Structure 1
């Protein structure tokens, strides 16, 4: 294991690119085992996430100065990316230091000719960084978005075709920025006002969410577990658009709830808090390992009404034999609303998966439809922005299930916020500096028999 921040960052970048490792899961484990100081851990995090997030732009810059016929080995390319990120994006790191550190990293793995190559390319990047202009790329606007904001071309095209130039650029820009740290206050343990005062007293900068009254943005952050109140269960990290899902479902004390695809449990815990720990939540997920994360969150937040169940949603009717007041289907999706928070995800996604996922989403809704009581509610949410996974799924579900009607959710939204889809709300990443999220709500108007 590397003993330097840049070495750790290179390890994360290389494993994400060459082995498909998830940076957000791998980095905390590597940092925990390292002997880096808190300051160096913060630097390693910034370098790893920043390089992965900006990788498309960095590759474009690098290849302007590398010979096109020169086949660059994957790890050498990662070293170049790490160096170029510091040169082009980080003013506080002197260019000479960034170049020299990249050269030293290459020397540790390759012969001198490789380190000479790394040195030559990065010095050219440094000399010419103030001359870089993306305006000439605007003739092909999708390519412009792809290169300037570091998105795969197919994603840039999808945003452009779906939302037009102005919104597409705003979305790409938001996805290229460092996301805020959003926390949700556990109002069963402490009021939002009281916790805000305690955080400010401890030296944190706090900003209330515009989407949810129990959500706030906190700076500086550092280690999540080091934030005041973590061990006591006073808060959990949850994006504000995800927190809004719980408010739209609007669970009440004493109700029975099913939350499918529930792990790691942020929305489940929020619902339990809104229910004041009274009632029942059956939290299902196909992964037992992921449900263990929900168990940990449940225990830390002192929540007693959550019953975990490891099962595929499409087989849920074999295990649950009674109807419930409300069901949440926060379905697996393409995650194109979370690209800022998961910087390496954009490079592993493919357009083909969107259609496959939309079919899975519809199957999940079909599977839980009979479990909703007459008069009960069903909420569908996905952290994406594609029409096929959002409005397309809702259209198909309503066509197949006339026993449900669409609910106008305006009363569950903030006062100044309006629904912007005929089926619910589509939050885009740039609007609140949050994850992109689609939410629709249905009410069951006719009773149906449970499938055997």
Structure 2
């Protein structure tokens, strides 16, 4: 693999300039160097992800010890200092001297010899002072403290504090910094769970049971997903347990017609198709060719024939499907505040003003979704956020529509999940408090 630090620098600069989303930029580089040494790929990934997830903390520290503030630095110098500080502050196995020296070398290699002394000075000062950094006082300014400690914009902290206590908010935002294992959903149509585990372990992966559902597994210590035999054979899909719970709550039954309105990359659609055991039909829709390609790629790998894809704007009613679906899955576009631990771009790119616009878009889609549910059929509404306006308020609005009533979710959830609203037809899952992503699930049935 080319110098992992130099590759990380290129990726971080692309993300800083908002040329690419982080998971795409990192994923493309890993794809290109998939046959490189595992330790180099692991270091590259940790350096990129660590610098991104801790960026606000890192910027705070750099600003303490640099005369030039981070926002005024040249993009390359800014990215170099961030990745150098990340190694010094959060990657204990990397000697501070190596972090400093390699950043200085890269500055010179990229034509910034005159600023290499500045880079060296700032990083060595951080190294000397790292045990004595004056962080904000949590008792005097809790929002500022939590923002810096957990690398979370202050407006998001304030947003959470409107709905949750200080302790709950700290648990939620702290959880986004915890290491994440890959959660996968076993496709029961492709063989037994035991066969899947044996195949994963044969390929060197460490396998653990999920926390909520028997079809969930957590895997780690593997090198590259596509090198896993069981992945290529379509024995599992990558899917968080919160999303699996939504699929379970939809309660797909053999022979049913199911519509997934905002489907890409297709986790819920494939979960539903698997439970149909080769019967029925799942129609997976999304807005663009790119998203349809993601759907087709996963469907082809898994090999199900009872699922097809279609490009469609979810806001636009399709009269051909009016009152024809047994189950409608509607995972609407949302703010993504429940998955910031996996998608770092959200906390840096999302603006508070966008939340109101999202609620309007969601209601447009949900209003259309209602038209597809046949009498006796159900609508499963979900999001990967923890914003009450996008979730509970939208669900109450849905429940007020003529001909629909909330359905008790108790039969579909594990006993370990004790959520008070379950009988009212909805649950809000919280990261750090529940063992999954932040996710909302609500279910309504069309009365006969």
**TM-score tier (shorter):** over 0.9
Q: Does the 8 Å contact 1:102/1:118 carry over to 2? A: yes
Tell me what 1:37 maps to.
Answer: 37
Tell me what 2:370 maps to.
Answer: 369
Tell me what 1:159 maps to.
Answer: 160
Tell me what 1:10 maps to.
Answer: 9
Tell me what 2:280 maps to.
Answer: 279
Tell me what 1:426 maps to.
Answer: 428
The separation in 1 between residues aligned to 2:13 and 2:324, in whole angstroms, is 48
Task: Summarize deviations over 1:176-231 as a string: whole Å, max 9, x none.
Answer: 22222101111101222332244345543221112221011112122111223111
Structure 1: segments with no counterpart, 5+ residues: 447-452
Q: Does the 8 Å contact 1:410/1:419 carry over to 2? A: no
- Do structure 1's residue 26 and structure 2's residue 28 form an aligned pair? no
What secondary structure does 2:82 align onto? helix
Q: Does the 8 Å contact 2:53/2:344 carry over to 1? A: yes
Tell me what 1:442 maps to.
Answer: 444
The separation in 2 between residues aligned to 1:330 and 1:132, in whole angstroms, is 43
Q: Which shifted more, 279-288 or 107-116?
A: 107-116
What secondary structure does 2:207 align onto? strand
* Gap change, CA 1:53 and 1:142, over 3 Å in 2: same
What secondary structure does 1:418 align onto? coil
What secondary structure does 1:139 align onto? coil
Task: Summarize deviations over 1:253-290 as a string: whole Å, max 9, x none.
Answer: 10011110111111111110011121011111111221
The separation in 2 between residues aligned to 1:382 and 1:39, in whole angstroms, is 36
What secondary structure does 2:359 align onto? helix
Q: Does the 8 Å contact 2:54/2:86 carry over to 1? A: yes
Q: Does the 8 Å contact 1:377/1:441 carry over to 2? A: yes
The separation in 1 between residues aligned to 2:242 and 2:219, in whole angstroms, is 16
Task: Summarize deviations over 1:353-387 as a string: whole Å, max 9, x none.
Answer: 11111111111111021211111111000000001
TM alignment of 1:138-287, pairs within 5 A: 138-287=139-288
Q: Does the 8 Å contact 1:330/1:380 carry over to 2? A: yes
* Runs of 4+ that moved beyond 6 A: none
The separation in 2 between residues aligned to 1:213 and 1:20, in whole angstroms, is 40
The separation in 2 between residues aligned to 1:133 and 1:380, in whole angstroms, is 45
Q: Does the 8 Å contact 1:385/1:438 carry over to 2? A: yes
The separation in 1 between residues aligned to 2:336 and 2:272, in whole angstroms, is 22
The separation in 1 between residues aligned to 2:12 and 2:435, in whole angstroms, is 25
Q: Does the 8 Å contact 2:323/2:375 carry over to 1? A: no
- Do structure 1's residue 413 and structure 2's residue 418 form an aligned pair? no
* Gap change, CA 1:25 and 1:69, over 3 Å in 2: closer
Q: Does the 8 Å contact 2:84/2:103 carry over to 1? A: yes
| TM-score, with length taken from structure 2 | 0.95
Q: Does the 8 Å contact 1:210/1:414 carry over to 2? A: no
* Gap change, CA 1:238 and 1:427, over 3 Å in 2: same
CA-CA distance at 1:235 after TM superposition: 1.0
Task: Summarize deviations over 1:70-93 as a string: whole Å, max 9, x none.
Answer: 832122111100000000000110
Q: Does the 8 Å contact 2:322/2:373 carry over to 1? A: no
* Gap change, CA 1:133 and 1:111, over 3 Å in 2: closer
Structure 2: segments with no counterpart, 5+ residues: none
Q: Does the 8 Å contact 1:268/1:281 carry over to 2? A: yes
What secondary structure does 1:402 align onto? coil
Tell me what 2:62 maps to.
Answer: 62
Q: Does the 8 Å contact 1:410/1:418 carry over to 2? A: no
What secondary structure does 1:439 align onto? strand
CA-CA distance at 1:62 after TM superposition: 0.5
Tell me what 1:404 maps to.
Answer: 404
What secondary structure does 2:350 align onto? coil
CA-CA distance at 1:69 after TM superposition: 6.5
Q: Which shifted more, 360-369 or 27-36?
A: 27-36
CA-CA distance at 1:343 after TM superposition: 1.9
TM alignment of 1:303-452, pairs within 5 A: 303-321=304-322, 323-399=324-400, 401-421=401-421, 422-446=424-448
Task: Summarize deviations over 1:268-313 as a string: whole Å, max 9, x none.
Answer: 1111001112101111111122111111111111101112111111
Q: Does the 8 Å contact 1:180/1:433 carry over to 2? A: no
Q: Does the 8 Å contact 2:59/2:82 carry over to 1? A: yes
CA root-mean-square deviation: 1.8
Tell me what 1:449 maps to.
Answer: none
The separation in 2 between residues aligned to 1:59 and 1:289, in whole angstroms, is 34
The separation in 2 between residues aligned to 1:198 and 1:108, in whole angstroms, is 45
Q: Does the 8 Å contact 1:377/1:442 carry over to 2? A: yes
The separation in 1 between residues aligned to 2:67 and 2:116, in whole angstroms, is 15
The separation in 2 between residues aligned to 1:428 and 1:242, in whole angstroms, is 13
* Gap change, CA 1:57 and 1:307, over 3 Å in 2: same
| TM-score, with length taken from structure 1 | 0.94
CA-CA distance at 1:103 after TM superposition: 0.9
Task: Summarize deviations over 1:392-443 as a string: whole Å, max 9, x none.
Answer: 11122222x1211011101100122123445511111113442110000001
